[in-house]
Amino acid sequence: MEKKMTNKKALIALAIGGFGIGLTEFVIMGILPDVAKGLSIDISEAGHFIAAYALGVVVGAPLLTSFSAKIDARKMLLFLMGWFTISNTLSGFADSYYTLLLARFFSGLPHGAFFGIGAVVAGKLAKEGKSAQAIAVMFSGLTIANVIGVPIGTYIGHQYDWSMSFYMVGIVGALAVTSVFLWMPKLISEPKETSIDHDKVLKNGELWALILLTTIGTGGFFAWYSYIAPFITDVAGWEEFMVGHAMILAGLGMVVGNFLGAKMAELFSPLKAVVLSLSVMVVFLLFNSLFAHNPYVVLVMTFLLGMASFTVATPIQLAIINTSKGNEMLGSSLNQSAFNMGNASGAYLAGLPIALGYGVVYAGVMGAVLAGLGVFIAMGILFFRRYKTFGFRKMAMSRYKLNR
C-alpha cells in the first residue's frame, strides 16, 4: 500500500513539472503584446521569444537526455527542474530583447528531456498494463496548465507586469523540484545504456518514421491552434473577450483527450490509437472549417478539437518508447523535439494560405491535410510491421520447402 501511494505521489510530482512546462510554453502567447511594449520592440520581434523556446526544446531534448546514461533518473529530473526554475525566473529579470531571447532559449532546453525521461519513469512506476495511464497523469499537468495556469498567468501579466508571469513559472518550478525530491523514489538501477545502444536506436528506421509521424501529424493541431484568435473573432464573429474563453474550452478538451488517449492505447495498440486519433482530427478540422461562420458550432468544435488533439499524445509517446528498446529515454525525448517541430511547421504551413489571401478558414484545412498525412505514415508503419512479421515468415517457409 505504501509503495502504491509513493508511486502516485511520484506521478503527481511529474504532473507538477508538466504544469510548469505547459505554463511557460503557452503563457507567452497571451502576454506577447505586454512583453513587446515593456521591451519597446515590435510584436513581430516579440514572436521570436516563442521560436527561441521551441528551438531550445529541439536542441535540449537529445543533448540533455544523453546525460541520463550516467545519472540516475531521479537526479536527472531534479537537475532538469532546477534548470527550468532558474532560467524561467531569470526571464522575468530580462531587460532587453537579447537577454529575454537567450533566457527563453535556455528555458526550453530542459522541456523535452523532462517529458522524455518522465514518460519512461512514469511507465516504470505504473502497475502492469497501466503504463499509458501513468504517462497520461504526467501529461495532465500540461493540459491543466492550459485551463488554469495560462489564464491566471495572462491576467497577472496584463494587470501588473509581464515579468510577474515568469516569476509565477519560477514558483511552480520550485514546487516541482521540491515534489520530485520528496516523492520520487530511487528507481532500481538498470544496466547503463552504452554508446552502442545509442547508435542502434538512432539507426532504427521505424523510430525515425514515428518521429516524422509526430512532426507532421501533430502539426495539424498546431496549424489550427496557432490561429485560434482570428478564427474566433474574424471568422466566427465573437468579440475579443471570447478568445480567452475559447482557449479554456480547448484546454478542457485537452484534459479529457489526454486520458481518453491513454485508454485507447490500452484497448488497441498505441499506433492503432494514433491512427484513430488523427483520423478523428481530420474530420473535426474539416467540419470546423466548413461551419466556421457559425459562432456556436465553432465553440463546440474548439472543445472537440482540443480533445482530439491530445488523444494522440500518450499513444505516440508509448509507441516511441516501445520502439526505442535499449535507449527508451533518448527516443522518448526525441519525440518531444518532434512535437515542437510540429508546432513550428504547422503554424508556418497554415500561414501560407492566409498569406495568399485564402483566409483563416484554410488554416484548418491545412491542418486536416497534415493530420491526414500523419494517418498515412502511421498506416505505412503498421503495414511494414505486418509484412516484417508475416512476409518474412512466408519467405522462410518457402526456402524451407525448397531445401527439402
What global pTM score does this model have? 0.83
Model pLDDT, residue 391: 60
For residues 112 and 64, state if they share a domain: yes
The pLDDT score that the predictor gives to residue 331 is 85
Q: Are 260 and 361 members of one domain?
A: yes
pLDDT value of residue 183: 93
Are residues 261 and 401 located together in one domain of the fold?
yes
Cα–Cα distance for residue pair 361/257, rounded to 1 Å:
24
Please identify every stretch of the chain with a pLDDT value under 50, giving residue numbers as ranges. 1-2, 189, 191, 195-196, 395, 400, 402-403
Q: What is the pLDDT of residue 8?
A: 87
CATH of the domain at 83: 1.20.1250.20
- Total structural domains within the chain: 2
Give me the pLDDT at residue 402, please: 42
Which contacts of 292-299 are long-range, i.e. CB under 8 A and separated by 24 or more positions? 292/231, 292/235, 292/236, 292/360, 292/361, 292/364, 293/235, 293/236, 293/237, 294/236, 295/236, 295/237, 295/238, 298/231, 298/232, 298/235, 298/236, 298/246, 299/236, 299/242, 299/246, 299/249
User: 168, 188, 208: which is the final residue of a domain?
Assistant: 188
pLDDT for 327 equals 79
- Where on the phi/psi map is residue 71: left (φ > 0), alpha (ψ -120 to 50), or beta? beta
Q: Are residues 74 and 93 in the same domain?
A: yes
User: Given this model, what pLDDT does residue 336 score?
Assistant: 87
Identify the domain boundary among 141, 172, 188: 188
Give dist(CA 109, CA 107) in Å, integer: 6
332 and 229 in a common domain: yes
Q: What is the pLDDT at residue 1? A: 46
| Whole-number Å distance between alpha carbons of 174 and 247 | 26
Domain region containing 379: 193-404
pLDDT value of residue 44: 72
pLDDT score, position 176: 97
Residue where one domain finishes, among candidates 153, 188, 223: 188
